[in-house]
Chain A
């Protein structure tokens, strides 16, 4: 089945530095990638939707200059948290849209990245 590889699985960084999270589709072409954020014991919150070769669409309240999303190829999408602060500490997870047939599609999730900013 479709697999999305997400790296790193966890990262600790100093306040003010930038962190890049990668999601790769291993055996399919991910034309659309969703990026989510999840706080402890809360549901997934959609941050942005990226389509290969075009600018990402950000949800209301998400700073596009802080959370840079690049989807330059059909197999790689990246999220860069710029000038990270402790309040950016969270669990970030990507999800790719996968074809299930003519009009159907599903979603395959990465394994997530736990970011801690100190």
Chain B
């Protein structure tokens, strides 16, 4: 079992739909990161969470430390949101990231 599990692996939705991507992890963490990888390969850091909830524009990220679970939500999805979304955790006492396998999101106009 991977330390970081994401679901779904692939998600196709219509423009405007509310999107949820889930991440579960099995280790104690210092922080959890949500990353966005565009088709060209570049990676953008969306959120870094250690507790609670963060919001940036149409993106919302939540984390439940007790349940070892995080969600990334996208409201009013748009075709430009199409990308691979990756959950990554930094475990306690470690500076390395452990990555989930990613969720490939496709938003259809």
Contacts and interface: CB of A to CB of B under 8 A. Distances in A.
Contacts of A93: 41, 43
Given A43-B102, A104-B31, A106-B48, A111 B41 contact: yes
Contact of A34 (B35, B96, B102): B96
B99 interface: yes
Given A93-B43, A97-B95, A112-B43, A107 B33 contact: yes
Q: Is the interface of A mostly helix, strand, loop or mixed?
A: strand
A43 B96 contact: no
B90 to A, nearest CB: 9
Contacts of B40: 111-112
Interface in B40-89: 40-45, 48, 50, 86
Interface string B18-49: 00000000000001010100001111110010
A43 B89 CA distance: 13
Nearest to A2: B45
A111 B96 contact: no
Interface residues of A, number: 23
A52 to B, nearest CB: 14
Interface residues of B, number: 19
A32 interface: yes
Contacts of B101: 42-43
Contact of B45 (A34, A42, A107, A114): A107
Contacts of A32: 95
Nearest to B31: A104
Contacts of A109: 35, 42-45
A44 B100 CA distance: 9
Given A43-B86, A91-B41, A106-B45, 19 more contacts: A32-B95, A34-B96, A34-B97, A43-B99, A49-B95, A93-B41, A93-B43, A104-B48, A104-B50, A107-B33, A107-B45, A109-B44, A109-B45, A111-B40, A111-B42, A112-B41, A112-B42, A112-B43, A114-B41
6 contacts: A43-B86, A91-B41, A95-B43, A104-B31, A111-B41, A112-B41
